[in-house]
Structure 1
Amino acid sequence: MAPETVPLRRNRRFRTLWAGSAAAMLGTCVADTAYPLLLLAMTGSPTLAGAFGAVQFGASVLFGLHGGAVADRHDRRRVLIVADTVRLLTALSVAVALLAHRLTVPHALLAAAAIGATMAYGGPARMLALRAVVPPEQLRQALSQDELRVNGAALAGPPLAGLLLGLGRAVPFLATVLASAAALGASVAVRFDSGTTDGTTGATTDGTTDGATDAGKEKGAVFAGLRYLLTDPTLRATVLVTVALNLAGSAMLLAVMVLLRDHGASEAGTGLALTGEAVGGLLGAPLVTRLHRTLAPGVLLLAVAWSAALLFLVPAFAVGPVVVFAALAAMSLGVPALRVMLDVLVFQQVPEAMRGRAVAATMTLLMAGLPVGTMTAGLLLDHLPATTVLPLLAALLAAGLLPLTLGRSLRGTSWPKA
């Protein structure tokens, strides 16, 4: 009982898993920048450079729902260890190939597929592991600290990848080997409850769970988490609005990139402007508890979404890297509270035996919004100037939010009891 009642700063299991998750996230952010830059240097082809992200994303979506079913069916700690091991071996294979001057494009694309698959299978298990080692009354605090991990890695990863790549082609990949090893070490070092199938059984002394192998074997089990989210009115509205916000946000990012380019901003200036998203997330993480105390879930969701719709308009009327940075930072202030809100709602309401699939379904839906938003923005930007696309995106998002704002179902939601 002691580890469940001590402050988080003294909770060894939480701090160890948090550090391992931070290492994994930083390694992923470094790799996401280093691989395309490496492929571009090797081939000179922007298409092949972009293929890495496309293959990685495709593998994550393809295996996403099945990853949730595996997390519910098997011991989550073992799933996490296997995923971290595959990630480590993948990074090591690329680093060794580079040191031997034998890396090929197919090898790099296979690495992209492997990384995407480990995200699909390890992602739900890692999320559930980090939250399994804290008591319910500390959940929001733990999730707020997790937001610092996510946004800190997003801010530090790209410039770190560029710096390491300047030291040598193999250097950033050796760094991802070290990060993957740290994540694997944390997964091996910490035992945590792996979930139950009927709400009554718990983890055994060897880290497995009684009856865990029966979870997720029923017909259509892979889609059970998705069905649960879309059947529950509160969760359905929450997830769909969050997906819409993710889709519109990715479209907005491409539009502001084009806008800055058209107004003569340098690549460095554009890159710095886009860091406003991570900076806003870092600044918003300490506000999570306060926002949750002040606003009900539905009100918080609508407030963040409406503020984003309004902030879409800012770069269209006041162009410049500083303006874009400020708009993205302001837009991202409420995102940590929104992500924690979604997490709390899922963990408080979804049955334990289905949590892996519910988390995986949410992750898959959110990820699917990114390419759809970018593709939509690209089609619009082929025919319209960015100063027109941004207000159009704002109008489309507002049109989707208006019925939910006028209705009572979302505005009347309340925080579930712990």
Structure 2
Amino acid sequence: MLGLLREASFRWLWIGRAASLLGMRLADLALPWLLLQSTSSVWVTGAALACDRLAALVLSIPVGVWVDRGSKWKAALLAEALRITATSALAGLALVGPVRPWVTALLLASLGAADVLHIAAFRPLVVHTVGWARLAAAFNLNEGADAVATLLGPLLAGTIIGRYGAGWALAADALTDLLAVVSLLAAGVAASGRQHPEERPYSQPQAAASRDAPKRPGSGAWDGFRYLWRAPLARRLAVAGCLLSTTSVAVGLWGVVLARDELHWDAERTGWIFSAMGAANVVAVLLLGAIGDRVAWSRLFTGAVALAAAGTLVLAAARSVLAVLMGALLLDGALSAAFVLQSSRLTAVTPPDRMARVTVAAGLADDGVRALGRVLAGSAAEVGVRWALLGWGLVLAAASLWIHRWGRFSCWPWAGPSCLGPDRRRSTA
């Protein structure tokens, strides 16, 4: 797995992704803290944070078609440039005076546009850089970058907010985006003229598999949705991804509310919760790298969602620092593993010529539930954050039983060995 970092093109791509993720983790604490201070309303905070998905809902389909037909490197660079602009504006407004929620909502919508463009471009870039055979290892390394960012980002954000204010934490976010742009430029130079064997035209088995796949016009804007609707495993993985994303955004907001309003922690201590999640992510990445090739992915996926449910229930009952940290460790470690399993398998079962469109089709549903999840999370927290955590823990427990019933699905021919975990039986879909 670590051998991929010896290749300059992937190393620079990974560094850029790590920098961008660190900035996002700074904002994950800085933005809700800033809005809660400005509005004193959890519902308004949740509604404002939901606006980062609005642009994604509008732009996902045209962005997917454009990225599939054009340069993935240019699309990724454009996404980072847009993100720098929005985060710099947010930081400047926070530093000069009170922040109005509607202005924050507009800038968050711009960040959402940058995110959908980056997501559509990044997965094809990973395939282009490492090939299909090492796709799972690449996803696990990217999740490792997210784990380290989740470990360090909240500690850094909490310290900056506690001493200087949320505006300076957002300014640090903008600096990480600048580093991401520089890294993407270096990755593009290193990968210039390079093409993996898996990127070349289909072999005969791959062509046969493509003929057997759900039919579609090759460049249709709605092609990604048609594929997700007709391919059983891809459809189930997209639904599971929506569930995981809803969990991520809802628990992120509930964690801040639990620490700030229930436990009466300051910003630095609140950062401990998210850093505990980062530590759990590191453990999950290492564990998944060690056992992923020996355990069926469906069993790993079921176990990860079940452990996430357990962590959510622990948080619902937590009254001490130790209990909160234990719940956060269990929840986000399991959630991290579940995201790797879901995203790598969805990428593996997607035909190469539809990669961006399928990615944004799944992302469009994901963006919708993220926006709705933030609004509902804010509303549920108004009733009681512990009841909200308890209810969602039960939802995740039910989801783990649903995933367990999937059985094992065989890999599609273009996926090669990139699927995590052996699949010894034929698909039951």
TM class by smaller structure: 0.7 to 0.9
In structure 2, relative to structure 1, the CA distance for the partners of 1:103 and 1:77 (3 Å cut) is farther
Q: Does 1:299 align with 2:299?
A: yes
Tell me the alpha carbon deviations over residues 310-339 of structure 1, each in whole angstroms, 9 at most, x when there is no partner. Answer: 443334455333212212212333434333
Residue in structure 1 matched with residue 421 of structure 2 by the alignment: none
- The alpha carbon displacement at 1:274 in A equals 4.3
Contact preservation (8 Å) 2:84, 2:178:
yes
In structure 2, relative to structure 1, the CA distance for the partners of 1:374 and 1:116 (3 Å cut) is closer
Structure 2 distance, partners of 1:217, 1:356, is 13
- The alpha carbon displacement at 1:89 in A equals 3.7
Tell me the alpha carbon deviations over residues 22-57 of structure 1, each in whole angstroms, 9 at most, x when there is no partner. Answer: 22222233344445555667x566577666523223
- The alpha carbon displacement at 1:118 in A equals 1.0
- The alpha carbon displacement at 1:231 in A equals 2.1
- The alpha carbon displacement at 1:380 in A equals 5.2
Residue in structure 1 matched with residue 425 of structure 2 by the alignment: none
Residue in structure 2 matched with residue 234 of structure 1 by the alignment: 233
- For normalisation by structure 2, the TM-score amounts to 0.75
Structure 1 distance, partners of 2:309, 2:184, is 40
Contact preservation (8 Å) 1:296, 1:413:
no
Q: Does 1:152 align with 2:153?
A: no
- The alpha carbon displacement at 1:417 in A equals 2.8
- The alpha carbon displacement at 1:147 in A equals 1.0
Residue in structure 1 matched with residue 284 of structure 2 by the alignment: 284
Tell me the alpha carbon deviations over residues 351-373 of structure 1, each in whole angstroms, 9 at most, x when there is no partner. Answer: 11211122223333334334444
Residue in structure 2 matched with residue 200 of structure 1 by the alignment: 201
Contact preservation (8 Å) 2:46, 2:378:
no
- Matched residue of 2:130: which SS? coil
Structure 2 distance, partners of 1:411, 1:136, is 23
Structure 1 distance, partners of 2:29, 2:351, is 37
45-54 or 115-124, larger mean C-alpha shift: 45-54
Residue in structure 2 matched with residue 207 of structure 1 by the alignment: none
- The alpha carbon displacement at 1:77 in A equals 1.1
Residue in structure 2 matched with residue 395 of structure 1 by the alignment: 394
Letter of the aligned partner of 2:119 in structure 1? G
- The alpha carbon displacement at 1:119 in A equals 1.0
Structure 2 distance, partners of 1:299, 1:240, is 18
Tell me the alpha carbon deviations over residues 391-411 of structure 1, each in whole angstroms, 9 at most, x when there is no partner. Answer: 443433344443553x4xx22
Letter of the aligned partner of 2:276 in structure 1? G
Structure 2 distance, partners of 1:260, 1:87, is 29
In structure 2, relative to structure 1, the CA distance for the partners of 1:17 and 1:388 (3 Å cut) is closer
In structure 2, relative to structure 1, the CA distance for the partners of 1:400 and 1:107 (3 Å cut) is closer
- Matched residue of 2:347: which SS? helix
Q: How does 1:19-418 map to 2 (within 5 A)?
A: 19-35=15-31, 37=33, 46=41, 52-92=48-88, 101=96, 105=100, 108-164=104-160, 166-167=163-164, 171-191=168-188, 192=191, 200=201, 218-219=219-220, 221=221, 223-248=222-247, 250-251=249-250, 264-268=263-267, 269-317=269-317, 319-376=319-376, 389-405=388-404, 407=405, 410-415=406-411, 417-418=416-417
Structure 1 distance, partners of 2:381, 2:368, is 20
126-135 or 160-169, larger mean C-alpha shift: 160-169
In structure 2, relative to structure 1, the CA distance for the partners of 1:93 and 1:346 (3 Å cut) is same
Contact preservation (8 Å) 1:73, 1:217:
no
Contact preservation (8 Å) 1:64, 1:361:
yes
Contact preservation (8 Å) 2:29, 2:271:
no
Contact preservation (8 Å) 2:279, 2:329:
yes
Structure 1 distance, partners of 2:144, 2:387, is 34
Contact preservation (8 Å) 2:29, 2:154:
yes
Letter of the aligned partner of 2:286 in structure 1? P
Query: What residue ranges of structure 1 are gaps of 5+ in the alignment?
Result: 202-214
- The alpha carbon displacement at 1:252 in A equals 5.2
In structure 2, relative to structure 1, the CA distance for the partners of 1:403 and 1:16 (3 Å cut) is closer
In structure 2, relative to structure 1, the CA distance for the partners of 1:378 and 1:16 (3 Å cut) is closer
In structure 2, relative to structure 1, the CA distance for the partners of 1:293 and 1:217 (3 Å cut) is closer
Structure 1 distance, partners of 2:301, 2:409, is 11
Structure 2 distance, partners of 1:25, 1:326, is 23
Letter of the aligned partner of 1:23 in structure 2? A
- The alpha carbon displacement at 1:110 in A equals 4.0
Q: CA RMSD in A?
A: 3.9
352-361 or 318-327, larger mean C-alpha shift: 318-327
Structure 1 distance, partners of 2:371, 2:85, is 28
Letter of the aligned partner of 1:330 in structure 2? L
29-38 or 256-265, larger mean C-alpha shift: 256-265
Count of aligned positions:
392
- Matched residue of 1:190: which SS? helix
Contact preservation (8 Å) 1:76, 1:194:
no
- Work out the percentage of aligned pairs sharing the same amino acid: 24
- The alpha carbon displacement at 1:72 in A equals 0.9
- The alpha carbon displacement at 1:374 in A equals 4.7
73-82 or 44-53, larger mean C-alpha shift: 44-53
- The alpha carbon displacement at 1:271 in A equals 4.3
- The alpha carbon displacement at 1:302 in A equals 1.4
- The alpha carbon displacement at 1:146 in A equals 0.8
- The alpha carbon displacement at 1:388 in A equals 5.2
In structure 2, relative to structure 1, the CA distance for the partners of 1:275 and 1:161 (3 Å cut) is closer
